[in-house]
Chain A
Amino acid sequence: MLYLALFRKGFQRMMAYRSATLAGIATNFFFGLLRTYLFIAVFDASGQVSIGGFSLRDAITFTALTQAFGSSLGIINWWWEVGKTIESGEIITDLTKPFHYFSFWLSRDLGRMVFQVIFRGLPIMIVYPFFFELTWPTSMAQWLLFSLSLSMAMIISFCWHFWMNCLSFWFVNAKGFGRFAWLAAAFFSGFLIPLSFFPDWLKAIAMWTPLPAIINTPIEIYLGVAQGAALWEALGLQLFWVIAFTIICELTFRAGRKRLVIQGG
């Protein structure tokens, strides 16, 4: 099946960049250390045991998780593959082939994401405990729910990138929007600091976007910050975004293709 093959190739493709993977792990880990000491300083200065439901150990685990999965979830690196093919006009060769465009790139990118969860994420989660004590999920169910949430986060992250890439259909230099989108994602997803640390009004704004579903939700599930009804609500919201954002992407792509088809590439 095509989409399975694409997933496999997206995965394989990453294996070609072994040194980049190693360098990535080192960088992610280094920045993880910096951010960890920042949190230690913040907790020290505040004199509080818990901030926004996070203990210091949770906060350190938060840095570990974000550093481990940030690249996979497209927060650390911005993705411009589709935008590039639109800008260069190369997209027209793709449009002469019988495949579903969104699914094509989603499958490919999921291959990359899964690779990076395994080969960039897990090493960091293995190395971290040698330096700091981390919080771990307390039950098998929590592990499973975290995995489910992480999977949905991948799809939403892909949608965010794909959607922004599609702006290239309308704007000659859409990369600027891309950069903005990247910064917005780093902030509003709860990557830089947990959303629980935000003032309520800012958090409320963030919650209207799909961005928290990319980072904040899986991490709160992992840490056990989200529990009971709140947990199911968070998962439900993620599922909503998976569906809604996929539809939005498909419609945006169709509109862009229509424009290309009428106006030429």
Chain B
Amino acid sequence: MSFIKVDQLCKTFKVATHKRGFVGAIRNLASRQHSLVKAVQDISFQIKRGELVGYLGPNGAGKSTTIKMLTGILVPSSGQITVGNIIPWEQRNQHTRRIGVVFGQRTNLWWDLPVIESFDLLKYIYNVPEDRFKQNLKKFEDLLELGEFSNTPVRSLSLGQRMRADLAAALLHDPEVVFLDEPTIGLDVVAKDRIRTFIKEINQNAGVTFILTTHDLGDVQKLCRRVMMIDHGKLLFDGPLQELQDRFGQERELEVDFADDYEDVSIPGAKIIQQQGRQTTYRFSREQMSASKLIQSLAEKFQIIDLTVREPDVENTIRHIYEKKLLSHQND
């Protein structure tokens, strides 16, 4: 059963176009011309309860606009969204009680209050029963190590601390679905790791559904089994991370240690990218040649001591997709 249903979602913004130059500026005063920007075009998907979905795409692709519609802040131009049978922007109050939201660069907490005071306010806002509140607080304090700064005003927190506090704040009322917009932006490695572990824990143990947008592929790799990729407002890919990897992460590498010095170690279908003494690294495409085929043809000609196959990492795959616009070409 799908928990979140999105059907043919579109959002068009009206943007004032400014004429340039002095004369243009005067004409702007007299008449504003508008152009329409299609931020989200005809997106459909379904998400089951307890899923953890990564929502990827370059800047300005339409990720945040989609999230804003899912949270009920924006009303779509057309199309339908239901989250557990609720239409977010119509039953706003009901909807807001079941969701948790973290917009990475905007805090949920009150700037000049100690963290714990903000939590306390959230308890009142969501009417969290006292014992449940204490229980959750205890759990989050342990998992996120909030204790060390819970009496510090938010404005004095480090970014990593603030983000941890923000995550806890978004989860205090036991939301069914949590939207995270770039939850690890600007954090150091340790802080990122702590946050990822926490998200994973809450997703697996409490069955909370997560949708996260991110530019950090570490987040994706560590957390998301399913990814959706959007660009120019269109959903270009929706499936397991592995599939994305298989389809576009084509360039694999093979590192070989030969037993002897050979004059020419080239093999058709594989490109030599590095040669150092008796060690050679080949790059080959999944489509053109399997690893076993390559190894076989090498072994027929040369004596090999050792070899390693390196799979392309997600980072490279996705960069490859963005740069080459592989997905958009397919759909257009």
Report A's interface with B, CB cutoff 8 A: 1-2, 5-6, 9, 12-13, 16, 88-90, 92-93, 95-99, 260-265
A261 CA to B93 CA, complexed, in Å:
15
Tell me if B96 counts as interface (CB < 8 A to partner A). Answer: yes
| Stretch of B102-110, B192-200, B214-222 with 4 or more beta carbons under 8 angstroms from chain A | B102-110
A126 CA to B108 CA, complexed, in Å:
41
- For the A-B complex, the count of residue pairs with Cβ-Cβ distances under 8 Å equals 64
Q: Select A5's contact among B65, B93, B121, beta carbons within 8 Å.
A: B121
Interface size class of B (residues with CB under 8 A): 20 to 34
CB pair B89–A261 under 8 Å, yes or no, is yes
For the complex of A and B, 3 pairs with smallest distance between CB atoms = A2-B124, A98-B96, A96-B101
CB pair B125–A90 under 8 Å, yes or no, is no
CB pair A89–B106 under 8 Å, yes or no, is yes
The interface centre, meaning the residue of B73, B96, B97, B107 with most chain A CB atoms within 10 A of its CB, is B73
Tell me if B13 counts as interface (CB < 8 A to partner A). Answer: yes
Contacts of B110 in A (CB 8 A): 9
CB pair A92–B68 under 8 Å, yes or no, is yes
Main secondary structure of the interface of B (DSSP, over half): mixed
B72 vs chain A, min Cβ distance (A): 7
A208 CA to B113 CA, complexed, in Å:
39
Report B's interface with A, CB cutoff 8 A: 13-14, 39, 65, 68, 71-75, 89, 93, 96-97, 99, 101, 103, 106-108, 110, 112-113, 117, 120-121, 124-126, 153
CB pair A99–B106 under 8 Å, yes or no, is no
A263 vs chain B, min Cβ distance (A): 7
Query: Are A1 and B73 also in contact (CB < 8 A) when A16-B112, A98-B96 are?
Result: no
Main secondary structure of the interface of A (DSSP, over half): helix
What are 22 sample pairs from A and B whose C-beta atoms fall under 8 A apart?
Answer: A1-B124, A5-B121, A6-B124, A9-B117, A12-B117, A13-B112, A13-B113, A16-B112, A88-B106, A90-B107, A93-B101, A93-B107, A95-B72, A96-B101, A97-B96, A98-B93, A98-B96, A98-B126, A260-B73, A262-B74, A264-B13, A264-B74
Contacts of A12 in B (CB 8 A): 117
Contacts of B112 in A (CB 8 A): 13, 16
The interface centre, meaning the residue of B65, B74, B103, B110 with most chain A CB atoms within 10 A of its CB, is B74
Contacts of B120 in A (CB 8 A): 5
Beta-carbon nearest neighbor of A104 in chain B: B125
The interface centre, meaning the residue of B110, B124, B126 with most chain A CB atoms within 10 A of its CB, is B124
Beta-carbon nearest neighbor of B101 in chain A: A96
Contacts of B117 in A (CB 8 A): 9, 12
Contacts of A9 in B (CB 8 A): 110, 113, 117, 121
Beta-carbon nearest neighbor of A17 in chain B: B112
CB pair B96–A92 under 8 Å, yes or no, is no
CB pair A92–B103 under 8 Å, yes or no, is yes
CB pair B126–A265 under 8 Å, yes or no, is no
CB pair A93–B65 under 8 Å, yes or no, is no
CB pair A96–B73 under 8 Å, yes or no, is yes
Contacts of B108 in A (CB 8 A): 93
The interface centre, meaning the residue of A1, A96, A261 with most chain B CB atoms within 10 A of its CB, is A96
A92 CA to B179 CA, complexed, in Å:
13
Beta-carbon nearest neighbor of B124 in chain A: A2
